[in-house]
Structure 1
Amino acid sequence: MTNVRSRVGASLVRRRSGLVGSWWLFLVVAVGGTWAFWLPAIFLGVSFDTAAGLALLLTGLATPGAAGVAFVYLVYDERGRADFWSRVTESRRVGLRWFAVILGVPVGVSLLAGLVTLLSGGSGVGWGEAVTQFGTNPLVVVPTLFFATLPPILEELGWRGYALDRLQLQWSALTSSVVLGVVWALWHLPLFFVEGSYQHDAVGFATAGFWLFMAGIVALSSVFTWIYNNTERSVLGIIALHGWVNFTAEVVVVPDAVYYPLWFALTGVIVAVWGAKTMTAADEVPHPPLPSDP
């Protein structure tokens, strides 16, 4: 009875929200809005190292989150809006077990990648500039902390705060993760053409690292969904996870050719253990408050 009620409620919320509530419309707005700020940086030759470039970068980064908040207020009623802010602010949804998972998974993946590299004849784990130069220049850690914390806040209000729920009203957790992951990867594309970005300066367009980065985001999207669905749809937990992934990758340096495949391997384990439908022990994916809910 509960499953039937859940499916009926999901169908009702899709119909009532109409075009505005369509998942694809949000993704078009989020990607298009961001590109509207990043593409001029490419055409004008503006580096993100400049004041103007940084303004364009940050405004583009903020677009998914701003769009997510706007769509929440357009699509949901008071209960849905209250649910959104609860997911953003309440740490109780995460719990100690899943907080440990959030902290442990990025570190575990990086250290395992270092071990695999070492066993394959490589140098194992390396350290980023924030570690190697901290003794002589403590301020070197500031950019690492900045880009590890701010982008997740600006992005995740939209990606997981709004879009993932809408996708999971229609598809399984795994399919929703792949769709969102592909769009999330493409959202980064202009960064490969703007000086001063990690993607341009350290990876490069159409390199092996480029393909690993783009594919790896899809795997990360699946892991994010797994944690999201198991933490009562906690956006705060995902912001913490996203930031910790960024920070760990900046501090613990391992080869991309080992690092990203491990995220795919983790996704495979998650699907094998929890299932592709919900990535949880439940039969139905979690959803925002629906018309049929008490």
Structure 2
Amino acid sequence: MRETGTAGFVGRWWVYLVVAVGGTWVFWLAAIAVGVRFDSAVGLVLLLVGLAVPGVAGVAFVYLVYDERGRSDFWNRVNDPRRIGRGWLVVILLVPLGVGVLAGLVDLLLGGPGPEWGDGVTEFGVNPLAILPALFFATLPPILEELGWRGYALDRLQLNWSAAGASSILGVVWALWHLPLFFVEGSFQHDEVGFATTGFWLFMAGIVALSFVFTWVYNNTERSVLGIVVLHGWVNFTAELVVVPDFAYYGLWFVLAGLIVAIWGTETMTAADDVPHPPARSVR
């Protein structure tokens, strides 16, 4: 059933994306304007509040756009591990690890240094707290982000676009959402990558490739937000533990995205003819 009135306008996919990106940028651009670092107390608050916007907005839009059936469906996708299934849980756990290991081997074959342990591993024996950044990136950001990106936005996009089209749009927006981080000291993007470097372009393009992989998993796990949170967290965690050159790492995510489209097609990225959608609003 076509949504009308306030719910119809608010439910347009671009409205959420404008709110999510704009809301985050308010706090992150404020950090740039006042010149604080993200590893300072004030900077950390601005980082975390901005980071929370996509998820908080996602939950808010669920309650604005959907009726009780849609809201129950949302929380079931967040809480119910049975949607994932054992087979797809194996996929979720093996794919990020496999990409990291294979990227290291590719780099070795090309004459590079190959994989290296991240700081959290090398410093753990001396300072166990060194693992905290890896644990942070594996837990809080995936939860805060995915309640919105996949929990709400991907469904709205797939009402009007193919799985591949939705992945492209969401991937580009997701990449641009990170942009202010390249201008704030104390962030990984500023300190380790840098703006307009080769690493910058690989990072931004790699997020788009990841968006395809996330859609593939999402559509094959009955739209499980929990599965995507685990996948997002495991991608972050493995990348923190095993460091490989960006070209090989992001290149393999592109290869995987291409294989997914080639095997499962652009429309659904599944064996089904149609992607699962949220329940329509009840007619009264």
Q: TM-score, normalised by structure 1?
A: 0.94
Alignment match of 1:167 (pick from 141, 145, 157)? 157
Partner of 1:53: 43
Letter in 2 for 1:88: V
Partner of 1:231: 221
Aligned length: 283
Partner of 1:143: 133
Partner of 1:38: 28
Q: Cα RMSD (Å) of the superposition?
A: 1.3
The alignment partner of 1:19 has SS state of helix
Alignment of 1:1-294 (within 5 A): 9=1, 12-13=2-3, 17-291=7-281
Deviations along 1:3-54, one digit per CA (max 9) or x if unpaired, are xxxxxx4xx2478832110100000000000001000100111001111000
Preserved CA contact (<8 Å) 1:232 1:286 = yes
Preserved CA contact (<8 Å) 2:171 2:211 = yes
Structure 1 spans left out of the alignment, 5+ residues = 1-8
The alignment partner of 1:170 has SS state of coil
Deviations along 1:85-106, one digit per CA (max 9) or x if unpaired, are 0000000000110000000000
Partner of 1:6: none
- Matched residues in 1 for 2:4 and 2:108: separation? 50
Preserved CA contact (<8 Å) 2:67 2:282 = no
The alignment partner of 1:18 has SS state of helix
> Identity across aligned pairs (percent)?
73
* Residue 122 of structure 1: how far off its partner (Å): 1.2
- Matched residues in 1 for 2:253 and 2:5: separation? 36
Preserved CA contact (<8 Å) 1:223 1:267 = yes
Preserved CA contact (<8 Å) 2:164 2:266 = yes
- Matched residues in 2 for 1:289 and 1:16: separation? 18
Deviations along 1:217-241, one digit per CA (max 9) or x if unpaired, are 0000000000000000000000000
Partner of 1:4: none
Deviations along 1:235-260, one digit per CA (max 9) or x if unpaired, are 00000000000001011110001110
* Residue 124 of structure 1: how far off its partner (Å): 1.3
- Matched residues in 2 for 1:14 and 1:290: separation? 12
Preserved CA contact (<8 Å) 2:209 2:253 = yes
Deviations along 1:77-125, one digit per CA (max 9) or x if unpaired, are 0000000000000000001100000000000000010010111111211
Q: Which contiguous aligned blocks of 4+ residues in structure 1 show a shift greater than 2 angstroms? A: 13-17
* Residue 146 of structure 1: how far off its partner (Å): 1.1
- Matched residues in 1 for 2:18 and 2:186: separation? 26
Q: TM-score, normalised by structure 2?
A: 0.97
Preserved CA contact (<8 Å) 2:67 2:281 = no
Preserved CA contact (<8 Å) 2:70 2:281 = no
Letter in 2 for 1:228: Y
Preserved CA contact (<8 Å) 1:212 1:257 = yes
- Matched residues in 2 for 1:41 and 1:16: separation? 34
Structure 2 spans left out of the alignment, 5+ residues = none
The alignment partner of 2:222 has SS state of coil
* Residue 286 of structure 1: how far off its partner (Å): 1.2
Preserved CA contact (<8 Å) 2:20 2:54 = yes
Preserved CA contact (<8 Å) 1:14 1:21 = no
